[in-house]
Amino acid sequence: MTENSKSKQAGQADCGAEVERPFDEVLSELEKRHAWKIRIAEDNNPEPAMSRMPYCWSDYDNRHAAAFRERYHLEELLEDVEDDWQAVLLLRHWVFNNMINHTNASLPGVEPFSTLDPTALLTACSVGGTFWCSHFSMVLVAALTSMGFVARKLSIDCEHTADEKGTHHGVVDVWVSKFRKWVHLDPNYDHHFERDGIPLSTEEIAQSWQKNRGEDIQPVIGPKCRPVPRARKGKTGEPEACAYFWHLAECRNDVFRRDGRGSKCMAVMLVDEERKKQRWYQGTPPNTFVKRGYSDGTIQFTEDPAEAYPDVDAAWMNLEQPHKMPYYCRVQLTTPCAPFFSHYEISVDGEPFQRIEGIEYPWRLHPGPCSIEARTVDVAGHRGPVYSIRLDISEDDSATPQWPWPM
């Protein structure tokens, strides 16, 4: 359940507080028609965060994506997973085991290797090629994408001046419906960060660094999420979380269609008051330089977290004014961002989820507890997070039903 939903429920539980009832106009109309009293018992239906940024993803059924998952037997790798989060961890671990890390990306006896094509990178590793973090990240984005997960490449760095060496590093964000959030992954070290057992996004790690130097978060490694004191080197003498002060997310993540050598693409940088005061430097002193995106226009700066972290695979429900058919409420479904969308599933009053076609569902209401749950399903078979509304409906003996409604 989201913090937004919790706050709504808390507000409803506070009998002394005036709380605006969600969908009040629609529910009031239903109360008037049928002489009902309607109370919202649960509102786990937060309006999704939406972004205007030009994010681009590969199609799940792209022939190169299909060939990638078949060539590396990724469906077999994930055959017995318990949920999508375990699948994500296994894919990260697979990349970690199949890539070889070295500061200078190269092939034995060959010039430095610069391609970003994921199949070429894995093929090169099989004959002794070595690669750095950005290559690890591209292969993980490819593996996740080929299995129907929404993933993107990020760059991160510590807070530093032009006279200091940075810790520039390539990592990955993936949307995990189990947690209804973006989660940071580092395939180069097979790790991520958690707080109270919940994996964190890159921005959450950055905010933890600013707030308390990362004291409230824990690095964990491997598919079994083993806690470790530190997962990778960072700024000398500083906690590992310092390496996440700066971060930007690439918009173009169509890894099976982009130029194999990479190309300039738009990236989104979420800035706050601390980041606005500074500039992001790259390179090694005395040859440091301001990150190129500042001057070439490829960085889109935003202070709105939704622009950098849009909700994926939402099934947000909006209650619409009822038709002239008695007892029914129209439920309109909205999904702003779902790269692999197939259809919706609906569950009413605790019944098994059923596939529906279209974007509207007629919800049959009745006195007593009424509930509706909705979720997306993508072409890979992944279920999105569940959005739910639960009503308690009672007869209002002091009112007169105004049904049948005038035609």
**How confident is the model at residue 317, as a pLDDT?**
98
Instruction: List CB contacts of 110: < 8 A, sequence separation 6 or more.
Output: none
Q: pTM for this one? A: 0.90
**How confident is the model at residue 388, as a pLDDT?**
98
Asked if 382 and 146 count as a contact pair (C-beta separation under 8 A), the reply is no
Alpha carbon distance 133, 102 (integer Å): 9
Q: What are phi and psi of 299, to 5 degrees?
A: -95, 130
Mean residue pLDDT of the chain comes to: 89
- Identify any residues that bridge with 40 across adjacent strands, giving them in sequence order: 391
Q: What is the pLDDT of residues 170-201, one digit of tens each?
A: 999 999 999 999 999 999 999 999 999 999 99
Alpha carbon distance 216, 239 (integer Å): 12
Longest dimension (CA), the chain: 89
What domains can be seen in the chain, in order of their start residue? 3-48+312-395 (2.60.40.10), 56-308 (no CATH)
Mean pLDDT of 83-97: 97
Mean pLDDT of 22-41: 95
Alpha carbon distance 169, 136 (integer Å): 11
